């Protein structure tokens, strides 16, 4: 009888896992059920684009119906409430599913580090809906400035200058001049702050590329506050450890991610930031019927560093889990997760990027931007979504 494989989440890891398993297994081997909150797949690595209005939400979403087409993958649009690993069931908002094999690919949540007021008074950018909220809010700030004339309405703070923060600041730097023209607001009234706790933006990234990114953004008016953690947020104010206070109506938090609550609540073994520990075949520790993949898990590289929660790692985890589920069904030897790393590219707005692709190939500027665009196209093609929207 076909094994029931329930995949939770249709992000990079979950969708890839479903598509790959469908390629390997016949309907006699596996019944594949894919659960997702929305009926679309989100390119969350591109969220900064609709958040600041350079692109529309539709530009970074893909209809799951279009991608799944007539494939024998059952799609369930619902919210995952809890996982009962002993009973081998998953409680959804509207129903309960049982499984033989479970794949948890629920992504990550925002890490607030317990900073007072941060969760309550900041925007976060983890979904297309949240990106749309940011976009509408920014537009309102400009619209209302004509009436209220408060400087804090035109002051935009991004907390955390990792890749997400830097990509967002780049979009802001390119978008805000358009809004100053549209709403006839003096350019010098608009302020963009990027606040970073570490001694450098994009900690750990290639120093030459970091310098290029910083200069490119400063030339477009971004003010960096580096080595100064955000320590408190209250309505209209962001407090830094240096004692500085930035008055702003817009605080966007991109200061880090953590594992998802459903994994912690289910009692899987996790590290301090809530990401599940998995074995070399991506199975939850001590559970040979549960795979936890994507941002929700924690895997160390052979050098002992955790793999970053990126799209390229997630898709490879999805592929590895699919192979290993199929091998389990067929009583074959499992494969170790050994990802191929293709480097990292961060955009700096609409025209430039920095890419660390190999020790000898570190393009920056327009060339790097085209590379980022090409990698998005390659990804869409790999899930069969290039011309399907
Ligand atoms: P991150 O954890 O990489 O960066 C968060 C940043 O916030 C860090 O630099 C940290 O020092 C800073 N920070 C933490 N606490 C702070 C505080 N109190 N005040 C000020 N700054 C503070 O998070 P991210 O940028 O969301 O990225 C998450 C993962 O996704 C990373 O692995 C990243 O590489 C990846 N990512 C990749 C891309 C890309 O490849 N283009 C884009 C976005 C994210």
pLDDT at 275 over 80: yes
Ligand 1 atom 12, closest CA: 160
Question: In a mutational test of the pocket of ligand 1, which residue from 162, 242, 305 has the highest number of ligand atoms less than 8 Å from its CB?
Answer: 162
Q: Which residues of 27-38 are buried (b: 16+ CB within 10 A; e: fewer)?
A: eebbbbbbbbbe
Per-residue pLDDT of 297-336, as tens digits, reads: 999 998 899 999 999 999 999 999 999 999 999 999 999 9
Any idea which of 76-90, 207-221, 264-278, 373-387 has the lowest mean pLDDT? 373-387
Q: Which of 31, 49, 167, 352 is catalytic?
A: 167
Given a contact cutoff of 8 angstroms between Cβ atoms, the answer to whether 316 and 340 are in contact is yes
Ligand 1 atom 3, closest CA: 162
Q: Give the residue extent of every domain in the chain.
A: 3-37+78-111+257-342, 123-253
Separation CA 143–CA 147 (nearest Å)? 8
Which tokens belong to 308?
Answer: 């970053």
The pLDDT score that the predictor gives to residue 179 is 94
Confidence band for 267, pLDDT divided at 50, 70 and 90 = very high
The pLDDT score that the predictor gives to residue 146 is 87
> Measured in angstroms, how far is the CA atom of residue 308 from the centroid of ligand 1?
10
Evaluate whether the domain defined by 123-253 bears CATH number 3.50.50.60: yes
Determine whether the shortest distance from the Cβ of 20 to ligand 1 is under 6 A: no
The answer to whether residue 319 is catalytic is: no
Which atom in ligand 1 lies closest to the alpha carbon of residue 108? 28
Determine whether the shortest distance from the Cβ of 108 to ligand 1 is under 6 A: no
Determine whether the shortest distance from the Cβ of 294 to ligand 1 is under 6 A: no
pLDDT at 224 over 70: yes
Given a contact cutoff of 8 angstroms between Cβ atoms, the answer to whether 49 and 55 are in contact is yes
Count CB neighbours of 17 within 10 A: 33
* Mean pLDDT value across the chain: 96
Confidence band for 388, pLDDT divided at 50, 70 and 90 = low
CATH class of 3-37+78-111+257-342: alpha beta
- pLDDT, average across residues 59-67: 95
The pLDDT score that the predictor gives to residue 387 is 72
The pLDDT score that the predictor gives to residue 251 is 98
The pLDDT score that the predictor gives to residue 104 is 98
Nearest to 321 by CA among 107, 102, 109, 79: 102
The pLDDT score that the predictor gives to residue 71 is 96
Q: Do domains 3-37+78-111+257-342 and 123-253 have the same CATH topology?
A: yes
Residue % of the chain over a pLDDT of 90: 95
pLDDT at 386 over 90: no
Per-residue pLDDT of 339-366, as tens digits, reads: 999 899 999 999 999 999 999 999 999 9
pTM exceeding 0.85: yes
Given a contact cutoff of 8 angstroms between Cβ atoms, the answer to whether 75 and 36 are in contact is yes
Residues 6+ apart with CB under 8 A from 344: 163, 205, 310, 355, 356
pLDDT at 137 over 90: yes
- pLDDT, average across residues 62-69: 95
Per-residue pLDDT of 2-59, as tens digits, reads: 999 999 999 999 999 999 999 999 999 999 999 999 999 999 999 999 999 778 999 9
pLDDT at 246 over 80: yes
């Amino acid at each position: 009888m076909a094994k029931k494989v329930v995949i939770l989440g249709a992000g990079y890891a979950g969708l890839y896992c479903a598509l790959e398993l469908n390629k390997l297994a016949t309907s006699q081997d596996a019944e594949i059920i894919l659960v997702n909150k929305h009926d679309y797949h989100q390119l969350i690595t591109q969220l900064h684009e609709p958040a600041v209005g350079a692109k529309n939400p539709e530009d970074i979403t893909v209809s799951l119906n279009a991608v799944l087409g007539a494939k024998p993958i059952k799609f369930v649009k619902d919210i995952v409430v809890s996982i009962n690993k002993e009973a081998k069931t998953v409680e959804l908002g509207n129903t309960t599913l049982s499984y033989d094999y479970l794949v948890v690919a629920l992504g990550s949540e925002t890490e607030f580090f317990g900073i007072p007021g941060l969760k309550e008074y900041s925007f976060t950018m983890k979904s297309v809906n949240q990106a749309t909220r940011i976009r509408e809010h920014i537009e309102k700030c400009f619209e209302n400035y004509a009436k209220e004339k408060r400087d804090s309405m035109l002051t935009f703070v991004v907390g955390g200058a990792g890749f997400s923060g830097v990509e967002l600041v780049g979009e802001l730097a390119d978008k805000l001049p358009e809004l100053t023209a549209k709403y006839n607001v003096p350019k010098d009234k608009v302020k963009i702050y990027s606040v970073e706790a570490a001694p450098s933006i994009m900690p750990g990234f290639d120093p030459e590329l970091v310098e290029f990114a910083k200069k490119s953004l400063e030339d477009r008016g971004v003010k960096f506050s580096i080595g100064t953690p955000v320590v408190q947020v209250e309505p209209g104010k962001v407090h830094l450890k240096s004692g500085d206070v930035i008055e702003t109506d817009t605080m966007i938090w991109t200061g880090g991610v953590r594992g998802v609550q459903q994994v912690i609540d289910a009692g899987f073994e996790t590290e301090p930031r809530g990401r599940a520990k998995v074995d070399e075949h991506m199975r939850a520790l001590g559970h040979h019927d549960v795979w936890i993949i994507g941002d929700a898990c924690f895997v160390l590289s052979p050098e002992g560093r955790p793999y970053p929660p990126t799209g390229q790692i997630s898709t490879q985890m999805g592929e590895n889990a699919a192979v290993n589920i199929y091998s389990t069904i067929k009583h074959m030897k499992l494969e170790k997760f050994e990802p191929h790393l293709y480097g990292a590219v961060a955009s700096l707005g609409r025209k430039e990027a920095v890419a660390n692709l190999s020790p000898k190939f570190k393009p920056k500027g327009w060339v790097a931007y085209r590379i980022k665009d090409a990698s998005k196209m390659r990804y869409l093609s790999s899930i069969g979504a290039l011309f399907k929207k």
